[in-house]
A and B are shown apart, each in its own frame.
Chain A
């Protein structure tokens, strides 16, 4: 990941989800009261693939279909995904509250139409967030991703709205 003027991420596709994916399913509805990040990491994706955690490495990316994050998203699943190393999610589209909530926290979400047909598991993706270019390095395909609006980029650059507030307050 490169910071500065550009925000570029590079990582392998660790999983591909379908449409309207309820993020709570990543750790399971019955585990939503768990708060320890280490326990959450152990629960991460276990129902999808028990060995997921061992196969994933830091910098990997998750891909989703349309309206990703639909439902009443609790923070546990993102905590789990981040803990096992996932650094971004690319989806056909995002559920608006999920998009706003997670980018406020500084997490990278990339809106990219056509991603599901273009990316298979373990493909290496490279995304130039600010300029809206996604490249599947493995296959050579290139797609246009949505350029995030300025406030979202500010929050991602700062590492979340909390840090961004701190920066803004010291300017005050």
Chain B
């Protein structure tokens, strides 16, 4: 069986499962973020029952962090009251974005089944868990019953070999994958990432890969457990860490082979994450805003790379560059490493950890005709504000280079990037 089949079989209490089979799995962790959680809570209250296991629920306030409108303030209050009324201890109020906090705080263990009211819940597959997004309506069921029906997904294996060039990052690899698979090429399937490049990749990079699995239509993304996983989890989780892998002789629905020796920085052009071209095709595109942050590109490795490019330079006067760490811990690490100083001196706008402008909630929306280069995961029309704005998705290196140049450039050409 593939890794995901093994996880689901165990959770469903079966010897084995087959793709396409309907199973009921036990949920190990259920996560809600502030906005979609607030949609679920009133309906759950009406049931008049306690939550199935308060220890398995993690509530996060990250979109309205802190709230900028009365509506958002209302969501925050709804979340706080629910956590109080139902005794939810794992409640992170404005400490970071959900998809960074869950791994960081040790809620993700290999082999776990995790659901969340957010599309990018696929992120946690980087630690060998089965992890997928569900709607608020379904979360009401999970809160009451602690299980979930699933159709066992087929697995597409993405074998990534070769060596990444300097300045080429996990985000570039993922954008390239999307250009090959398309936005519905992995519908109902799991993307299993492997190969030498993945083995060599940091956890920050692996989280980026799994974060965007959903953009290919995938139910989940996953990476086998290895020493890097174990080392990340040390001190974060208690108990034994299972080294889980797919069986060597298992069959996949498709195997995609990639070699990244010649991979250049990529961008996803408006208005789809799969509308991907090499950055060389869009050099000179004028930029009004750069966003370096989010659950896709707001981790320490991302900011270290961006800082290398921005260091000792001023960002272009044509651009506002938003720097938004994905968690309070990352913010502190950036402070200690002197990264915040680099961004501040260059003229960036530093912010507290939040989802902010990524989903068009607050803190950096785009006006008519504006262009943003973002390290986030979606660039649909209207995603970050105006329906007449454009978003290019890129790696933190490409985004930082754009902030300095005032337009899209190949980060490898920027002085200091060599």
Which residues of A pack against B, CB within 8 Å? 20, 22, 24, 29-30, 32-33, 66-67, 70-72, 93, 95-97, 100-101, 104-105, 149-151, 160-162, 164-166, 168-169
Closest to A166 in B: B47
B119 touches A161 (CB 8 A): no
Report B-chain residues with C-beta under 8 Å of the C-beta of A164: 141
Counting from the closest, the 8 A-B pairs by CB-CB distance are A29-B382, A101-B135, A151-B149, A104-B137, A29-B387, A67-B184, A104-B138, A161-B141
B149 touches A165 (CB 8 A): no
Report A-chain residues with C-beta under 8 Å of the C-beta of B138: 100-101, 104, 161
Report B-chain residues with C-beta under 8 Å of the C-beta of A104: 135, 137-138
Report B-chain residues with C-beta under 8 Å of the C-beta of A32: 382
B188 touches A72 (CB 8 A): no
B140 touches A161 (CB 8 A): yes
Report A-chain residues with C-beta under 8 Å of the C-beta of B381: 22, 29
Contact of B49 among A95, A161, A169 (CB under 8 A): A169
Q: With A96-B188, A100-B135, A165-B140 in contact, is A30–B382 under 8 Å at CB?
A: yes
Quick one: which of B43, B135, B137 has the most chain A CB within 10 A? B137
Inter-chain CA distance A20–B183, complex, in Å, is: 10
Q: Judge whether B151 is part of the interface by a CB distance below 8 angstroms.
A: yes
Closest to A106 in B: B137
Report A-chain residues with C-beta under 8 Å of the C-beta of B382: 24, 29-30, 32
Q: Judge whether B219 is part of the interface by a CB distance below 8 angstroms.
A: yes
Give residues 100-145 of B contacting A (CB, 8 Å): 119, 133-135, 137-138, 140-141, 144-145
Question: How far, in Å, is B366 (CB) from chain A's closest CB?
Answer: 13
B217 touches A95 (CB 8 A): yes
Report B-chain residues with C-beta under 8 Å of the C-beta of A149: 22, 149, 151
Inter-chain CA distance A162–B141, complex, in Å, is: 7
Which residues of B pack against A, CB within 8 Å? 22, 43, 47, 49, 71, 119, 133-135, 137-138, 140-141, 144-145, 149, 151, 183-184, 187-188, 214, 217, 219, 359, 378, 380-383, 387
A96 touches B137 (CB 8 A): no
Inter-chain CA distance A97–B213, complex, in Å, is: 13
Inter-chain CA distance A32–B140, complex, in Å, is: 23
B149 touches A70 (CB 8 A): no
Report A-chain residues with C-beta under 8 Å of the C-beta of B184: 20, 66-67, 70, 95
Inter-chain CA distance A19–B378, complex, in Å, is: 19
B378 touches A72 (CB 8 A): yes
Q: What are 26 contact pairs spanning A and B, CB under 8 A?
A: A29-B382, A29-B387, A32-B382, A72-B359, A72-B380, A96-B187, A96-B188, A96-B217, A97-B133, A97-B214, A100-B135, A100-B138, A101-B138, A104-B135, A104-B138, A105-B137, A149-B22, A149-B149, A149-B151, A150-B22, A151-B22, A161-B138, A161-B140, A161-B141, A162-B43, A166-B47
Quick one: which of A20, A33, A72, A105 has the most chain B CB within 10 A? A72
Closest to A66 in B: B184
Report B-chain residues with C-beta under 8 Å of the C-beta of A160: 137
Q: With A29-B381, A30-B387, A151-B149 in contact, is A165–B141 under 8 Å at CB?
A: yes
Inter-chain CA distance A101–B380, complex, in Å, is: 20
B22 touches A161 (CB 8 A): no
Question: How far, in Å, is B311 (CB) from chain A's closest CB?
Answer: 35
Inter-chain CA distance A22–B383, complex, in Å, is: 13
Q: With A22-B380, A104-B137 in contact, is A165–B145 under 8 Å at CB?
A: yes
Inter-chain CA distance A104–B380, complex, in Å, is: 25
Inter-chain CA distance A164–B133, complex, in Å, is: 20
Report B-chain residues with C-beta under 8 Å of the C-beta of A24: 382
Inter-chain CA distance A20–B140, complex, in Å, is: 29
Question: How far, in Å, is A4 (CB) from chain B's closest CB?
Answer: 23
Closest to B137 in A: A104
Inter-chain CA distance A71–B43, complex, in Å, is: 25
Question: How far, in Å, is B355 (CB) from chain A's closest CB?
Answer: 13
Inter-chain CA distance A144–B311, complex, in Å, is: 62
